[in-house]
Amino acid sequence: MIDIQGLSKHFDKVVAVDGISFKVNKGEVFGLLGENGAGKTTTLRMLATMLTPTSGTAKMAGFDIINEPEKVRGSIGILFGGESGLYDRLTAEENIAYFGELNDMDRNRIKERIKELAKVFNMEDYLSRRAGKLSKGMRQKVAFARAIIHDPDIMLLDEPTSGLDVSAIRDVHEFIKRCKSEGKTVIFSSHSMDEVEKLCDRVGVIHKGRLVATGTLDEIKSQYGDSDLENIFIRLVGGKSES
């Protein structure tokens, strides 16, 4: 479903991402682990066609991010950062519908889909309220619905739990599980080992723009002879930065 081939990104002299390659199968949740400045956001932005790779490419749901960016965008949903950015002067429903329209859905389909999602996320009571008047938790649910209104095959989440409180984090985790249960392919980046352990089928550890380890959790644990992912992470990351 996702096939990343030697993806690199340079910002002037900074090499943010340095020749990353990995595959994510359909229905898998892939965790991208890395410390600050490792290149997670840059990688996800390239996959979302927001940034053009310096070299390499990736296939998303069969479409090439360089040659078919529009088709790629039509098959992905994103959730970047913890705080949900909504248009405050539009209602919750209008916020969601706007993204449906932009993704070429017809009006009736959008209506149906919003009804469906409102039930799933318990948003029926505040669909017609302005987003600016909603609580943080409500806004988050609107952002979830907006991200999957067009039922994308792939979800890209960049540190979706950063800066959130406990219950909001649980909501995000529920959301990821829901995406998985619907057969979506998910990549999400994170700082937190716990969350990665809890949710991911496979992980990739990224350090200074390079992928230093990939595999299922068990594979990685047995490869490094340690059952504590955090220790492995420190070893991977710490070892590299000494050189």
Which spans of this chain sit near Mg ion (rule: CB under 5 A)? 41
By C-beta, is 37 or 183 nearer to ligand ATP?
Answer: 37
Q: Residue 187 and residue 191: Cα distance in Å, rounded? A: 14
Q: 3-state class of 23 per DSSP?
A: strand
Structure tokens at 97: 């519908």
Q: Which of 7, 38, 164, 179 binds ligand ATP (CB under 6 A)?
A: 38
Residue 42 binds ligand ATP (CB under 6 A): yes
By C-beta, is 46 or 86 nearer to ligand ATP?
Answer: 46
Q: Residues binding ligand ATP: what is the number (CB under 6 A)?
A: 11
Q: Measured from the CB of residue 83, what is the shortest distance to another protein in angstroms?
A: 6
Residue 16 binds ligand ATP (CB under 6 A): yes
Q: Residue 206 and residue 40: Cα distance in Å, rounded? A: 7
Q: Measured from the CB of residue 105, what is the shortest distance to ligand ATP in angstroms?
A: 31
Give the binding site for another protein (CB under 8 A).
45, 48-52, 69-70, 73-74, 76-78, 80-81, 83-90, 94, 98-99, 101-104, 143, 146-147, 156
Which helix (H) or strand (E) element contains residue 29?
Answer: strand 29-33
Region near ligand ATP per CB under 6 A, out of 30-38, 89-97, 217-225, 235-243: 30-38
Q: Which residues contact 116 (CB under 8 A, 6 or more apart)?
A: none
Q: Which of 8, 41, 95, 190 binds ligand ATP (CB under 6 A)?
A: 41
Q: Residue 61 and residue 152: Cα distance in Å, rounded? A: 10
In residues, how long is the chain? 243
By C-beta, is 14 or 234 nearer to another protein?
Answer: 14
Q: Which of 39, 100, 152, 160 binds ligand ATP (CB under 6 A)?
A: 39
Q: Residue 77 and residue 79: Cα distance in Å, rounded? A: 7
CA angle 184, 187, 191 (to 5 degrees): 140
Q: Residue 87 and residue 185: Cα distance in Å, rounded? A: 27
Which residues are at the interface with ligand ATP (CB under 6 A)? 11, 14, 16, 34, 36-42
